[in-house]
Amino acid sequence: MRLGDEGSGNFDDRTGQSGFGRGGGGGNLLGCLLPFVLSRFGIVGVLVLLVGYCALTSLGGGGILGGGSGAGPTASSASTLSAEDKRTLTSVLLSTEKVWGDIFQKNGKRYTPTTLVAYSNANQSGCGAAQAAMGPFYCPTDKEIYIDPQFFTELRSKFNAPGDFPQAYVIAHEVGHHIQDLEGRLDQAATAQARASRADGNAIQVGIELQADCYAGVWAANAKAPDGTPALEPGDVEEGMRAADAIGDDTLQKEMQGRVVPESFTHGSAAQRMAALRTGLQSGNPAACNFNAR
Ligand SMILES: [Zn+2]
């Protein structure tokens, strides 16, 4: 993508800080449940995190707990964020602010941007502990996105999704959750999930995740280069499709447990995720992104 060097100021670099020293957080029950709903961008790894009084359980396999340093005072050490990763994070974020700002304005609303927090290994979010193994996530309590840029390396190596577009897709997917939050859709989903069976609850979550994928496509379709031409370059869509394919629940399940259990899907199959991203890319219109859970 051609997004230029300009970056958003709604960015908080906490890389280099150690552990959970920052903030009290804890979060309410909604804050505890929603990170579970939203934490994994298809990232895998069986891990249980105890966060205050609530446990977040994330299924799957393969995620490596990124050497979290555990509880302790915040050391305000130097940033470990590479210039390249910072540029990617802030330029994509700025572009999402422009695109969603325009879309909201057209609908007579004002877009309130999210803040993107870059951290390394472990940090505190308004939804409890942020761990690199959770993958990037959106926290509705503090309305911030948390990402350990190490995930970009995993995209390239573990998920075999190289290129700049998969990275942008990950960020734009989390921004998509922020859009859903502003639309009240996350609250609705949490309420519906609280009453639903496990299988229905998963289906609701799949609908949320596919809509976020579609919103990522909507952003990409509308993103502009500094000269005002489309930011998408040849090959970007293919890169994105490869990423969506690699992080589909069925792909991951096949890899990790050798079989596919559709009832336990939380983000959608590879085919569903690719279709959702494509719908956003082709329509450029968030109204096309209605992925209702069955
Ligand atoms: Zn998501």
Residue 293 lies in a domain: no
Cα of 75 vs centre of ligand 1, distance in Å, is 30
Cα of 253 vs centre of ligand 1, distance in Å, is 17
Residue 209 lies in a domain: yes
Q: What is the pLDDT of residue 19?
A: 61
Place of tokens 């998408």: 232
Residue 6 lies in a domain: no
Q: What is the pLDDT of residue 60?
A: 26
- Which token pair is 175? 């921004």
Q: What is the pLDDT of residue 268?
A: 85
Residue 189 lies in a domain: yes
Q: What is the pLDDT of residue 292?
A: 64
**Rounded CA separation 25/3 (Å):** 34
Q: What is the pLDDT of residue 233?
A: 93
Beta bridge partners of 167: none
Q: What is the pLDDT of residue 20?
A: 54
Cα of 162 vs centre of ligand 1, distance in Å, is 20
Residue-wise pLDDT tens digits, 113-159: 999 999 998 889 998 888 887 788 899 999 999 999 998 988 888 88
Cα of 198 vs centre of ligand 1, distance in Å, is 18
Cα of 79 vs centre of ligand 1, distance in Å, is 27
CB 225 within 8 A of CB 2: yes
Cα first-last separation, the chain: 35
Residue 181 lies in a domain: yes
Q: Which of 265, 273, 15, 247 is nearest to 120 (CA)?
A: 15
Residue 4 lies in a domain: no
Domain count, the chain: 1
Residues of the chain with confidence (pLDDT) below 50 = 21-73, 293-294
Residue 266 lies in a domain: yes
Residue-range definition of the domain harbouring residue 97: 11-288
Residue 5 lies in a domain: no
